[in-house]
Structure 1
Amino acid sequence: MSTVLIGGFFLFVMMAVPIAFAMGLSIILAIWWQGTLPMTLMAQRTLVGADSYALLAIPFFILAGNLMNTGGITHRIIDLAMAMVGRFRGGLALTSVMAAMIFSGLSGSAAADASALGKVLIPAMKRQGYSPGFAAALMASACVNGPIIPPSIPLVIYGLSAGKGVSIIALFIGGIVPGVLLGLALMVAAYWISVRRNYPTTRRVPLRELPALALPAIPALLMPVIILFGVVGGVVTVTESATVAVLYALLVGFFVYRQLKVSDLWPILVQTALDTALVMFIIALSAGFGWLLAVSGLTRALADAIAAVSTNPLIILMLINVLLLVIGIFMEPLPAMLILIPVLVPVVSAVGIDLVHFGLVMVFNLCLGLLTPPVGILLYICANFAGIKLEEEVKELGPFFAAGVAVLVIITALPETVLWLPRLLLTP
């Protein structure tokens, strides 16, 4: 049954069937092949997959991100980042990475970051003489941080799917250090290329003026702080924190920045509904897919096969990393996670790998797949803003993708890069 299920899924994907429908059709095919399970099982498991109070965090985080994107924070964040790093060679390139790091704490979505920042920063880099391919590749790579630095929709989904008491707030806090490491690695790569190509500095802001430039960005920067401290302090749950984020985004947009209008709300709500429907449809169908994988015995067989290779946690994680990097070429992070979590969590649990550590490794790895064609959505978004063909962008991608893989190796080999901050903040 597992062969029919997985084989059917990849067959439908190769036929250009959308991921969610490919999962649904492969479920029907596997149930029909198995012969004894009722076809109504698909509807039952689909409803079970979507029937979770904790999943309410997803539409609220999406809505908060859309409100903040429309509410006037983009230029304030860019101005702050430019004031901090614009003095260095390749200042606008460094600004793009830093702005993406800050923006990641607001949206939780790589595509949202690329859309909001790319349309401003990529044309600006082109005007200053940066290669269009370089500008697009750098912006795409920087926006990988969207789902890593909290809040993060993929980390919410991992926490719910992995079960076994995996703390979503521990996942959120655990994403901070990997996100900062990725930002620093990308800035080093961008600076190195900028020096070699003699890209310009942007402007040298006196240090005494930094507080004045930081002041307008403070309301935006407080949002992730409020979310994290609210949950860590036990004031709100993760789901409730998402509603707090929405209320805060409304207050900032209407009364602080005053760029959010009542007429903006309907388009924002419509876009949020569309984004939520897409995510929830995939989640619902993946529940049946994962259940059939478990029933088929594939998870146990895979665990036994990996255990036969090695019982060393690091070797197992490295093997899984190779698998995920390959899968990320062909699948978006969300469906890949929902299909693979039921398969891989028993494997890593059996050898004592911390599930918070594994969650960050998995999400980080699959988000690097957003930079690899043919599925790499960030490449398409940024190439569009740069007005170039995908091939031109991919030629410039190498140093930035290598920086991402280097950080992946670091957080895989050194679990404390992920775990020390959650232990520090969450240990009573």
Structure 2
Amino acid sequence: MDALMLVGSFVLLIALRVPVAYSLGLATLIGAWWIEIPFHAVMIQIAGGVNKFSLLAIPFFVLAGAIMAEGGMARRLVAFAGVLVGFVRGGLSLVNITASTFFGAISGSSLADTASVGSVLIPEMEKKGYPRDFSTAVTVSGSVQALLTPPSHNSVIYSLAAGGTVSIAALFMAGIGPGLLLSAVMMGMCLLFARRRNYPKGDVIPLKQALKICVDALWGLMAMVIILGGIISGVFTATESAAIAVLWSFFVTMFIYRDYKWHQLPKLMHRTVRTLSIVMILIAFAASFGYIMTLMQIPSKITTLFLTLSDNRYVIMMYINGMLLILGTLMDMAPLILILTPILLPVVTSIGVDPVHFGMIMLVNLGIGLITPPVGAVLFVGAAVGKVTIEQTVKALLPFYVALFMVLMAVTYIPAISLWLPSVVL
């Protein structure tokens, strides 16, 4: 009955179209009242939920990504990707995936990836003879890898939701393997479509121009080297790397590229703060929600439930994958990570799944949800940027859903894809 009051009130508030963050907060108060917990104990949990040094990584990485997206870095990375793969048949679709890989490894955001890369490449692909719905589908599906590769904001949120017991650096390293696998599979799909549909070959860029493009893009690519190199070498933590990423992106945008005007910075800061305020409120209320769940022993009850369904870890992981895929289509990613991690982490650790590995499984599942209706935020952004309907985009995405599911199965049942690099580097 306790769990029904807490979860039921949350679901009811969501159904009444109350914002997710406030639904969490109100459901927490209802749950606390039901089990007779003083409200001031809930307030302490809300304050404590955001009073963590590691949380500083989120605003810094979001700000760095916003500066990079609007400061011309995405356009230069697209040009650099064109030098690498643009000359083969279907080259522009490969450029799209490659540019998403580079930009995702700098911004850590699928939304920023879709908006910035899509605004440059979707019109260009259409001009070269690619269908607009296919171009949008490539952009949207390729952006999922930004959730996996460092500096993924969602890896930071997962670490927080796990109670700080999972290293952010380990999660960053673990995301590289699945991210590269996803990009490789997407590129394979693009090559297959290019051959079947006879998409055009790209032009070979002259050596002198190619060298200029590479040098121009090098400043942006250095952000990846600084972030990853600093963490791997132990020079600074993931949080400190986020602050350095802001300084580097600001320096490159304002003093090297100089495409962005100084008077535009206040508006960019305002948009960033608005985004962050929503995220921080969500994290604060999710902390109190998790506290009430723990008092109600919901995680242990869920663990018992899953273990009664089967004692086979592969079957249990299939159940969990199915649940995550369904929930990922119904709710945004960050609240699901904050709500489900405290519930599911005891389940998977009890059957021998590494918490870092499970983090990658969760991110891939919920990443697929971001590009799937009815609540796929990245899908909506991609359709808006591509100027096509949601229905057209989803239809074009169907083959890519199959490829993403194959990646999910590989990440779920081959732990080395996620765990090999952290074991070697850290």
Considering the TM-score relative to the shorter chain, is it more than 0.5?
yes
Contact 1:65/1:107, CA 8 A, preserved across alignment: yes
Deviation for aligned residue 1:164: 6.1
Aligned partner of residue 37 in structure 1, secondary structure: coil
Alignment correspondent of 2:114 = 114
The equivalent residue for 1:319 is: 319
Matched, 1:12 2:16: no
- 8 Å contact 1:123–1:385 — kept in the other structure? no
Q: How does 1:277-296 map to 2 (within 5 A)?
A: 277-296=277-296
**Equivalent AA in structure 2 for residue 384 of structure 1:** A
Within a 5 Å distance, the mapping from 1:291-306 to structure 2 comes to: 291-306=291-306
Worse overlay, 42-51 or 311-320: 311-320
Mean Cα deviation higher: 305-314 or 410-419: 305-314
C-alpha distance in structure 2 between counterparts of 1:109 and 1:386, whole Å: 18
Q: Secondary structure at the match of 1:82?
A: helix
1:135 corresponds to:
135
- Give, in angstroms, the shift of residue 199 of structure 1: 1.7
Counterparts of residues 263-282 of structure 1 (less than 5 Å): 263-282=263-282
CA RMSD after TM alignment:
1.6
- Which residue of structure 1 aligns with residue 63 of structure 2? 63
Which stretches in structure 1 are left out of the alignment for 5+ residues? Answer: none
Paired residue secondary structure (2:12): helix
Cα deviation for residue 228 of structure 1 reads 1.3
Post-superposition offset of 1:169: 0.6
1:27 corresponding residue in structure 2: 28
Q: Which amino acid in structure 1 is aligned with residue 11 of structure 2?
A: F
Contact kept, 8 Å, 1:2 with 1:292, in 2: the verdict is no
Q: Is the 8 A contact 1:97 1:139 kept in 2?
A: yes
TM-score, scaled relative to structure 2: 0.96
Q: Deviations over 1:372-391 (max 9, x none)?
A: 11110111111112222111
C-alpha displacement of 1:189: 1.2
SS in 1 for 2:329: helix
1:311 alignment partner, SS class: coil
Superimposed CA distance per residue, residues 105-155 of structure 1 (whole angstroms, 9 cap, x where no aligned partner): 111111111111111111222222222211111111111112111101000
Q: Which amino acid counterpart does residue 325 of structure 2 have in structure 1?
A: L
**What corresponds to 2:184 in structure 1?**
184
The number of residue pairs the alignment matches comes to 425
Residue 271 of structure 1: how far off its partner (Å):
1.4
Identity of aligned residues (%): 39
Partners of 2:44 and 2:300 in 1: CA distance: 24
1:352 aligned partner: 352
Cross-structure match for 1:124: 124
Q: Distance in 2 between matches of 1:356 and 1:206?
A: 44
Aligned to 1:365: 365
Q: How big is the shift at 1:209?
A: 6.5
Q: Name the amino acid aligned to 1:240.
A: E
Letter in 1 for 2:308: A
**Structure 1 range deviating more: 71-80 or 190-199:** 190-199
Distance 1:403 1:253 in 2: 36
Once residues 378 and 356 of structure 2 are traced to their aligned partners in structure 1, the CA distance between those partners, rounded to angstroms, is 26
Where does 1:130-209 land on structure 2 (aligned, <5 Å)?
130-163=130-163, 165-205=165-205
SS of 1:331's equivalent in the other structure is coil
Q: CA deviation at 1:165?
A: 3.2
Q: CA deviation at 1:210?
A: 4.6
Q: Distance in 1 between matches of 2:14 and 2:348?
A: 28
Shift of 1:247: 0.8
Equivalents in 1 of 2:164, 2:306: separation in Å? 21
2:45 aligned partner? 45
Q: Which residue of 1 aligns with 2:74?
A: 74
Q: Distance in 1 between matches of 2:67 and 2:388?
A: 30
Q: Distance in 1 between matches of 2:331 and 2:164?
A: 26
Q: CA deviation at 1:195?
A: 2.0
1:97 aligns with 2:97: yes
Deviations 1:264-323 (A, max 9, x none): 221121111111111111101101111111111111111112122333333322221111
Question: What letter is aligned with 2:37?
Answer: L
How much does 1:330 deviate?
A: 0.3
Letter aligned with residue 338 of structure 1 = L
Aligned mates of 1:286, 1:165 — CA distance in 2? 17
Partner Cα separation in structure 2 for residue 255 and residue 61 of structure 1: 20
CA distance in 2, matches of 1:383, 1:164: 36
Please report how far the alpha carbon of residue 81 of structure 1 lies from its aligned counterpart in structure 2 after TM superposition: 0.9
Alpha-carbon contact 1:169-1:228 (below 8 Å) kept: no
In 1: Cα distance, 2:91 partner to 2:210 partner: 16
CA distance in 1, matches of 2:207, 2:178: 28
Secondary structure of residue in 1 paired with 2:118: helix
* Aligned counterpart, 1:414: 414
Query: Which string of whole-angstrom CA distances, capped at 9 and with x for unpartnered residues, describes residues 225-283 of structure 1?
Result: 11111122121111111111111111111222122332122112111111111111110
Relative to structure 2, which stretch is displaced further, 203-212 or 167-176?
203-212
How far residue 206 of structure 1 moved from its aligned partner, in angstroms, is 5.9
Of 71-80 and 157-166, more deviation after overlay is shown by 157-166
1:230 partner amino acid = G
Cα contact 1:371–1:401 (8 A) shared by 2 = no
Write the distance in 1 (CA, Å) between the matches of 2:344 and 2:207.
49
The corresponding residue for 2:247 is 247
Change (3 A) 1:362 1:241: same
Q: Deviation digits for residues 392-422 of structure 1, max 9, x if unmatched?
A: 1111111111111111110111100111111
189-198 vs 220-229, which deviates more? 189-198
Which residue of the partner structure matches residue 85 of structure 2? Answer: 85
| Cα distance in 2 between the residues matched to 1:164 and 1:312 | 28
After superposing the two structures, state which structure 1 stretch, 48-57 or 38-47, moved more: 38-47
Query: Following the alignment from structure 2 to structure 1, what is the Cα–Cα distance between the partners of residues 359 and 211?
Result: 37
Matching residue's letter, 2:88: F
Give me the whole-angstrom Cα distance separating, in 2, the residues matched to 1:206 and 1:314.
51
SS in 2 for 1:330: coil
For residues 210 and 314 of structure 1, the distance between their equivalents in structure 2, rounded to whole angstroms, comes to 48
Matching residue's letter, 2:363: V
